[in-house]
Structure 1
Amino acid sequence: MAEIRGWSYEGTELAWIQDRLGRPDGGPGHAVSELVPGCFGSYLRIFHPFQAMDGSGRTCSWRTLAEAYGVPFHSELSHRSLPAGTVPSGGPLWLAESGRLDDRSRGALQRCLAPATGDQQVFYAYDLVAMGEDVDSPIERCSSLAGLDSTHAAVRAEIGDVDGPEFWWPQDRSWVVTTDHDLLSTYIGCSTETARRILRADELEVLPVTQQTRVDFYADESGHLR
């Protein structure tokens, strides 16, 4: 998870988020508070599913792999606790994608967010991934909640093959979705009611987190990294 930011957010739509991010407790590693502002009733982690690298198109949940290795499934679980990403029985290599929520999970999340969003405009922002491109500020677009995919396609057509968006939120700022380009999970701040809908979604592998929950690859406190 990168820390260096090379431009000012003054005058950008992203400013309200960036002004509220940080790690006030000075603890080790990185935490949810560096990804999602501390103004929400609930915080969630959506795990990006593992994909089989044998071309079969199969997916596997973090819980399934954790159970296969006897590793506790919890909110700070790291892929580093799942040795080599392989199933003990000698199955395929499993890898999770960083920087972008998969299509199925993204669609399920949009459906969960729709009741809290209505017909509001939704902002989509590309921050760190835009720094390698020929732009002088974060890339920001505005569309509907249903317009996420078409907005992302337009950004890719404009600047190239980038992950993201890194941040998306509605006009009333009632929720924020953050997918850092270095991480294998997406983090959300929202109301308690919206969180309940997301936690009930069968298509999503999700756990509650707090602002203090670590998000970096060395976060796992289960003892399997020791």
Structure 2
Amino acid sequence: MDDYPPVDRDPAPERYGRLRVQTAAPGPADWLTERAPGYGDFGTVAGVAAPGFAAYARVLHPASLDELPVRWATVAAVHGREVASGTDWHDVIGTDRDYYNLSEYGVPGVWDEHPAEGPTPPAVARILIPVLARHTRTAERCWFGLWNGYGRWDFDRVPTFDTPGRDEVLLAGTLAEAITPVSLDEFAELPDLWWPQDRAWCLGGDVDLVSTYIGGSVELIADLLADPELEAHPVGPRDGVG
């Protein structure tokens, strides 16, 4: 077996942006880890966000042209296709899921960059925050999960909590502070999971996805679907993710 040198990682910060890294047992996340078997499995909407909500939405991460957002529906229309709630990006551009070449893409004048893979992109987060704030009484007290697998920071001595397929570091702050990791540098991911103290909703993303998933009230999901700045579709908790 080959011996690989240890990977140098930055020490775990006390704050991730303005979010406070929690070094005590992650009790506020217990409700996320205590899932009924078979409900909230890895690869499902409820597995990425959380089970038990009245309704769910999938928010698509936009493609871009000259660094400006481009809706999936715009790209699909060029190819004579439509976007539905379960459409994958590779279906939009007409390539194989496992073999499309990220270095060969784009339609001149339509799009030139794939949607961002990973947790919620900052531009999308800025639109989501005021909508989410209207649907919780505790926007000033929120919790967040940051996947321990991004590898840049050494969180090995920080307690983590498990979600389907992932282990997460617990962060605390206000809803508005969810965007503050962008102050670290352009490579800092936003948290994968967000939820308020009153658990009125839960937002989930993942390193391998080009969508963000949100569970909440029927009223919240209706607001997300109606927001003209978002490209969102209704989904069910057991639907697959992409």
State the TM-score bracket (shorter-chain normalisation).
0.7 to 0.9
Q: Is the 8 A contact 2:39 2:47 kept in 1?
A: no
Q: Is the 8 A contact 1:75 1:213 kept in 2?
A: no
**CA pair 114-80 structure 1, distance change in 2 beyond 3 A:** same
Instruction: Please name the residue that 1:108 is paired with.
Output: 127
Instruction: Please name the residue that 2:54 is paired with.
Output: 41
Query: Which has the larger helix fraction?
Result: 1
- Taking structure 2 as the reference length, the TM-score comes to 0.71
Structure 1 residues 134-164: Cα deviation after superposition (integer angstroms, max 9, x where no partner): 21333222111112122x257x58xx94423
The runs of at least 4 aligned residues of structure 1 exceeding 3 Å deviation read 21-26, 89-92, 128-133
Instruction: Please name the residue that 2:169 is paired with.
Output: 139
Query: Which has the larger strand fraction?
Result: 2
- Unpaired runs of 5+ residues, structure 2, are 1-23, 95-103, 161-167
1:115 maps to amino acid: R
The Cα of 1:105 is off from its aligned counterpart by 2.1
**CA–CA distance in 2 between the matches of 1:35 and 1:101?**
12
Q: RMSD of the TM alignment (CA)?
A: 2.8
Q: Which of these residues, 60, 77, 80, is aligned with residue 70 of structure 2?
A: 60
The Cα of 1:133 is off from its aligned counterpart by 3.5
1:47 maps to amino acid: L
1:127 maps to amino acid: W
SS at match of 2:83: coil
The Cα of 1:179 is off from its aligned counterpart by 1.2
The Cα of 1:17 is off from its aligned counterpart by 1.2
Written as runs of structure 1 = structure 2, the 5 A alignment for 1:44-193 is 44-52=57-65, 56-81=66-91, 82-83=93-94, 85-87=105-107, 92-120=111-139, 121-130=141-150, 133-136=153-156, 137=160, 138-150=168-180, 152-153=181-182, 156=184, 161-193=187-219
- 1:19 paired to 2:34: yes
- Taking structure 1 as the reference length, the TM-score comes to 0.76
Q: Is the 8 A contact 2:224 2:230 kept in 1?
A: yes
Q: Quote the sequence identity (%).
A: 25
- Unpaired runs of 5+ residues, structure 1, are 1-9, 217-226
The Cα of 1:119 is off from its aligned counterpart by 4.3
SS at match of 1:94: coil
Q: Is the 8 A contact 2:59 2:230 kept in 1?
A: yes
2:47 maps to amino acid: E
**CA pair 67-146 structure 1, distance change in 2 beyond 3 A:** same
Aligned residues: 197
